[in-house]
C-alpha cells in the first residue's frame, strides 16, 4: 500500500474525504472508549469547561433515578450541595473516556445511596452505643465506612447501577490492596472483605476465604493465617444486610437496625484487630517508630564515645578555655528549660461545631473587627440588593453599590491545652466543641488565623497544628502542662511579623512544667502581643492558680453559653491594656 493510500484511509476514518471537499467532521474517534457509559452518553465536548458541565448534568440525571432525597450533585470546591463529587479522577483528557466516566458514575451512585439511607445518622447511633477510647475510634470509623459501602453496593447490585459501582470498587481496591505492606493491617482486611461481600457474580460471602494474592504465589506468608477468621466474622452479617435490612419500611428503623448489627459484629471483631494498624502510614505506628528512634538515640548518647584522637594528637590539639560567668548567664537566660517541638502526627477530628455558639461568637468578633467599605463603581454585576429588585425592568441597577467587609488588624493564634488533665471522658470532646467553633468564627474575619494544641510525650513538649487546608484534626491528650514555654515559643516565631498576634489560650489548669507563665506574659508585653486566657472545666483550686498566674486576663467558662460574654470582656480588657 502506497503512502497516499494510507493517508486516504486515515482521512476516511476521521470523517474527511478527498471526494467531498469541505466535508464537516461529525465525530472524532477516541481511543480507550470501552465502557458502559459509551452506550448512553453522547453529549460530549473536547472543551474542558463544557465537558465537565455536561458530565455534571449526566450525573444529576443518574442520581434522580437512584431514588428520592438523594440530594443535588456538585463538583467539589464549587457550590455547597448534598453530594460533593471530586472531578480530579476524570480531569486531564477531554472528552472524558468512558472507562473513567463509569468509575465516577459508580462513586456518585454510592454517595447517593449513602444520602438516601442516612449513613451519618447510622454512624451517630452506632458510636453512641459504643464506649471506645480515642485510640480505637478511628479504627471503628474505617470499619463503619466499609460496612456502609458493602450495604450500598449490595443495594445497587439489585439494579443496573451495580455495574457502575463495581467499576468504582475495583479502582478503590487497587489502591487499598498493597502487596508491599506487612500484614495484618485493617485497610487490607476490609478491602478483602468488601471485594467478597459486594461481588456480583455469585455469593462469595458463603465461601471460606482463600488467599489468591501475589504473596502466596511468590511463596511468602499466606494471608489466610491473618484474615480467615476476621473475614468469617464479617461475612456473618452480609446475608442480614442483603435480605433483611431492605425489607424494613421506615428509614429510621433501617438505620437503627444497621447500627445494632454493626455494633454486635464490632464487639466480636475488636479483640482480634485491637492492636492492628490501619496501614503503614498509621499515626500510632509512626509514633511507635519515632519512639524507637528516640530511644535508640538515647542509647547511643549514653554509650561510650569512640576514641578519635590518640594520646599524642590530644597533647597537640589546643583545649578551649572554659566559658566565662557572663557567657554562662547569657546562655541560661536565652535557652528555654523545656524544648518545644512541632508534631506532624495528627488524627482526623469529628465535627463538634455548635452552630448557635458560632453565630454568637461571630457577632462578638464582628464588633471588634475593622470595617472596610468597597464600592461597585457603577458596574452591571455583583451581589444583588433586594431593596433594588424593582429596578430590574427599568434601569437594571439591582446590585449593591457599597459592600462592608470586616477584618482584624491583628492575626489571631488559638492555643489549646491538650495535656493529661484533658483526657477524662467528656472533657476533651467539650473542649473540641469550644475551640472548633471559636476558630471557625475567628477565621471569618482573619484569614491568617492558626490553631495549635500542645501536650507532653516522653518528656518532650509537642506543638501540633489542628487546622490544615480547611480540615480540623485532633491529638490524644497526654502529659504535663508547659503553658509558659508554648506561649514564649509562639511569640518568638511571630516576632518578625508586621502584625502583632492576639493569643487566645484555652486551658483547664495552671502550668506545672517549664518556665513560669509570668515570664511568658512579660514577653508578650515586650513584643506588644495580646494574651487572653479562657479557663474551661476548671476546679476551684485551678481557678485560684490561674487567677494568680494570669490576673485580669483570664475568665472561666463552665458552659458554652458563657463563652461569648466572657470573650467580649476579655477583648475589651485587652484593648485597654495593649492598645497604646
| Domain end residue (candidates: 273, 297, 321) | 273
412 and 398 inside one domain? no
41 and 64 inside one domain? yes
494 and 353 inside one domain? yes
Q: 401: domain range?
A: 380-406
146 and 189 inside one domain? yes
Q: Give the distance, in angstroms, between the CA of residue 109 and the centroid of all CA atoms in the same chain.
A: 23
505 and 427 inside one domain? yes
Domain presence at residue 292: no
Closest to 110 in 3D by CA, of 149, 137, 80, 139: 149
The rounded distance, in Å, linking the Cα atoms of 244 and 208 is 22
Say if CB 73 and CB 60 are below 8 A apart: yes
Domain presence at residue 123: yes
Query: Residue 427 sits in a domain of what CATH number?
Result: 3.40.50.410
98-130: per-residue pLDDT in tens? Answer: 999 999 999 999 999 999 999 999 999 998 898
What is residue 348's predicted lDDT score, i.e. its pLDDT?
80
Domain presence at residue 295: no
398 and 432 inside one domain? no
Q: What is the pTM of this model?
A: 0.58
Closest to 369 in 3D by CA, of 488, 502, 262: 502
What is residue 225's predicted lDDT score, i.e. its pLDDT?
86
* Per-residue three-class SS string for 467-520: EECCEEEECCCCCCCCHHHHHHHHHHHCCCCCCCCEEEEEECCCCCCCCCHHHH
Domain presence at residue 183: yes
35-87: per-residue pLDDT in tens? Answer: 899 889 888 999 998 999 999 999 999 999 998 888 899 998 777 778 889 89
What is residue 118's predicted lDDT score, i.e. its pLDDT?
93
Domain presence at residue 199: yes
Q: How many helices (H) and strands (E) does the chain have?
A: 20, 14
In whole angstroms, how large is the CA radius of gyration of the chain?
31
220 and 135 inside one domain? yes
Domain presence at residue 114: no
Closest to 279 in 3D by CA, of 191, 169, 168, 213: 191
* DSSP-derived secondary structure for 310-327: -HHHHHHSPPPPPPPHHH
366-383: per-residue pLDDT in tens? Answer: 888 788 777 666 666 667
Closest to 196 in 3D by CA, of 178, 182, 185, 212: 212
Domain presence at residue 20: yes
Closest to 111 in 3D by CA, of 85, 143, 139: 85
Q: Give every CB contact of residue 234 below 8 A, 6+ residues apart in sequence.
A: 193, 197, 265, 269
| Domain end residue (candidates: 244, 273, 302) | 273
Closest to 451 in 3D by CA, of 426, 476, 427, 432: 432
17 and 77 inside one domain? no
* Per-residue three-class SS string for 137-171: HHHHHHHHHHHHHHHHHHHHHCCCCHHHHHHHHHH
Domain presence at residue 111: no
Burial of 509 (0-12, 13-18, 19+ CB in 10 A): buried
What is residue 218's predicted lDDT score, i.e. its pLDDT?
59
555 and 504 inside one domain? yes
564 and 432 inside one domain? yes
304-337: per-residue pLDDT in tens? Answer: 333 333 333 234 333 334 444 444 333 333 444 5
* DSSP-derived secondary structure for 391-450: GTTTT---B-SEEEEEE-SS-EEEEEE-SGGG-STTHHHHHHHHHHHHHHHHHTT-TT-E
416 and 554 inside one domain? yes
| Domain end residue (candidates: 238, 273, 308) | 273
446 and 482 inside one domain? yes
pLDDT under 50 in the chain at which residues?
3, 7-8, 11, 14-20, 32, 291, 294-336, 576-580
How many structural domains compose the chain? 5
Amino acid at each position: 500500500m502506497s503512502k497516499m493510500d494510507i493517508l486516504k484511509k486515515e482521512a476516511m476514518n476521521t470523517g474527511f474525504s478527498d471526494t467531498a471537499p469541505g466535508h464537516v467532521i461529525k465525530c472524532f474517534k477516541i481511543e480507550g472508549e470501552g465502557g458502559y457509559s459509551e452506550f448512553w452518553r453522547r453529549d460530549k465536548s473536547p472543551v474542558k469547561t463544557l465537558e465537565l458541565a455536561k458530565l455534571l448534568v449526566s450525573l444529576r440525571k443518574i442520581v434522580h433515578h437512584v431514588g428520592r432525597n438523594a440530594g443535588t450533585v456538585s463538583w467539589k470546591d464549587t457550590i455547597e450541595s448534598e453530594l460533593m463529587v471530586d472531578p480530579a479522577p476524570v480531569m486531564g483528557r477531554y472528552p472524558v473516556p468512558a472507562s473513567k466516566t463509569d468509575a465516577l458514575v459508580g462513586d456518585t451512585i454510592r454517595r447517593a445511596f449513602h444520602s438516601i439511607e442516612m449513613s451519618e445518622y447510622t454512624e451517630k447511633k452506632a458510636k453512641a452505643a459504643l464506649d471506645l477510647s480515642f485510640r480505637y475510634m478511628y479504627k471503628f470509623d474505617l470499619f463503619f465506612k466499609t460496612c456502609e459501602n458493602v450495604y450500598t453496593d449490595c443495594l445497587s447490585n439489585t439494579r443496573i447501577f451495580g455495574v457502575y459501582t463495581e467499576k468504582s470498587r475495583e479502582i478503590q481496591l487497587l489502591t487499598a490492596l498493597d502487596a508491599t505492606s506487612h500484614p495484618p493491617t485493617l485497610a487490607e482486611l476490609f478491602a478483602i472483605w468488601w471485594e467478597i461481600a459486594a461481588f456480583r457474580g455469585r455469593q462469595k460471602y458463603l465461601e471460606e476465604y482463600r488467599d489468591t494474592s501475589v504473596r502466596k504465589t511468590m511463596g511468602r506468608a499466606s494471608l489466610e493465617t491473618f484474615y480467615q477468621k476476621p473475614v468469617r466474622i464479617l461475612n456473618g452479617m452480609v446475608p442480614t444486610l442483603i435480605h433483611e435490612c431492605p425489607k424494613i419500611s421506615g428509614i429510621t428503623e433501617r438505620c437503627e437496625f444497621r447500627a445494632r448489627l454493626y455494633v454486635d459484629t464490632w464487639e466480636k471483631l475488636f479483640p482480634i484487630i485491637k492492636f492492628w494498624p490501619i496501614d503503614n502510614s498509621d499515626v500510632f505506628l509512626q509514633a511507635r517508630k519515632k519512639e524507637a528512634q528516640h530511644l535508640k538515640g538515647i542509647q547511643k548518647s549514653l554509650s561510650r564515645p569512640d576514641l578519635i584522637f590518640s594520646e599524642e594528637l590530644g597533647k597537640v590539639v589546643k583545649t578551649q578555655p572554659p566559658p566565662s560567668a557572663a557567657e554562662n548567664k547569657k546562655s541560661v537566660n536565652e535557652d528555654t528549660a523545656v524544648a518545644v517541638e512541632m508534631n506532624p502526627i495528627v488524627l482526623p477530628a469529628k465535627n463538634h461545631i455548635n452552630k448557635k455558639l458560632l453565630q454568637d461568637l461571630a457577632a462578638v468578633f464582628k464588633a471588634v473587627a475593622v470595617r472596610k467599605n468597597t464600592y461597585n463603581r457603577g458596574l452591571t454585576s455583583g451581589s444583588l440588593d433586594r431593596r433594588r429588585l424593582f429596578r430590574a425592568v427599568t434601569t437594571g441597577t439591582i446590585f449593591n453599590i457599597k459592600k462592608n467587609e470586616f477584618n482584624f488588624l491583628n492575626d489571631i493564634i488559638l492555643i489549646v491545652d491538650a495535656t493529661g488533665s484533658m483526657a477524662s471522658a467528656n472533657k476533651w470532646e467539650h473542649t473540641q466543641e469550644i475551640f472548633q467553633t471559636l476558630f471557625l468564627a475567628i477565621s471569618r474575619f482573619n484569614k491568617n488565623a492558626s490553631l495549635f494544641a500542645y501536650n507532653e510525650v516522653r518528656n518532650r513538649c509537642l506543638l501540633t497544628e489542628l487546622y490544615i487546608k480547611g480540615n480540623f484534626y485532633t491529638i490524644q491528650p497526654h502529659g504535663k502542662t508547659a503553658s509558659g514555654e508554648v506561649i514564649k515559643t509562639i511569640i518568638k516565631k511571630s516576632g518578625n511579623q508586621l502584625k502583632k498576634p492576639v493569643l487566645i489560650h484555652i486551658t483547664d489548669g495552671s502550668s506545672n512544667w517549664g518556665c513560669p507563665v509570668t515570664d511568658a506574659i512579660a514577653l508578650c508585653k515586650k513584643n506588644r502581643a495580646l494574651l487572653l486566657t479562657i479557663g474551661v472545666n476548671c476546679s476551684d483550686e485551678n481557678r485560684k492558680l490561674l487567677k494568680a498566674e494570669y490576673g485580669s486576663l483570664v475568665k472561666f467558662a463552665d458552659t458554652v453559653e458563657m463563652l461569648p460574654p466572657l470573650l467580649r470582656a476579655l477583648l475589651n480588657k485587652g484593648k485597654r491594656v495593649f492598645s497604646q
